[in-house]
Structure 1
Amino acid sequence: MAKSENANVGKVSKPNVFVRIGMFVRQMFQEISKVVAPSGKELLGWSVAVFIFVVLLMLFITSLDFGLGRLMVTLFG
């Protein structure tokens, strides 16, 4: 009998679905208000860094492709 009494004590009722949706929307707007847009200088710096990284990655993949292609032609004629 003690088990059933303890089971009811540990049970926490959740708010209804509309309250939970409202809470989600409220928390979403709170988090969005914390977002800070980068300055023009930061945006330019990160854009250049991403562009350089993509170019280097393209060069690496291209050299692998040509190198392995030449290796296959050499091996299998």
Structure 2
Amino acid sequence: MANDVKTAKKEKKPNLFARIGRYFKDVVGELKKLTWPTGKDLAKYTATVLAFIVLFAVVIGVLDFLFGQGFTLLGSLAGKSSDASALADALLGLM
């Protein structure tokens, strides 16, 4: 009855080094399937990335300058110098 049920045999896992070897073999197989960009495409992609880096650096620089000028203006409107403590006082006064 209950003893008649047979258990399925577990398949043995390969040892660690065999699994590592199979992993790297699979990686090499996947790398062979890739379509690598040509030199011309790679140069175009690189130029695009560098252009966006420069663009965002300029945008962040302009925003930094504008916010700095705005905080200086806030400090001068509060009637104090534009040092850090006066700026903090002006900002705390707005709250």
Which TM bucket (shorter chain)? 0.7 to 0.9
Structure 1 equivalent of residue 69 of structure 2: 70
Between 1:61-70 and 1:37-46, the stretch displaced more is 37-46
Residue 56 of structure 1 is matched in structure 2 by 55
Could you say if the C-alpha distance between residues 17 and 69 of structure 1 is closer, same or farther in structure 2, counting changes exceeding 3 Å?
same
For structure 1, list consecutive stretches of 5 or more residues without a partner in the other structure.
none
Give the CA deviation at 1:12. Answer: 5.4
Per the alignment, in what secondary structure is the counterpart of residue 13 of structure 2? coil
Q: What count of residue pairs does the alignment treat as equivalent?
A: 73
**Structure number with bigger Rg:** 2
Q: For 1:70 and 1:12, how far apart are their aligned partners in 2?
A: 71
Instruction: Trace 1:1-77 onto structure 2 (pairs within 5 A).
Output: 9=8, 13-77=12-76
Unaligned runs of 5+ in 2: 77-95
Query: How far off is 1:68 after superposition?
Result: 0.7
Normalized per residue, the structure richer in helix is 1
Normalized against structure 1, the TM-score is what?
0.73
1:10, distance to aligned residue in structure 2 (A)? 8.9
Q: Which moved more, 1:59-68 or 1:10-19?
A: 10-19
Runs of 4+ deviating beyond 6 Å: none
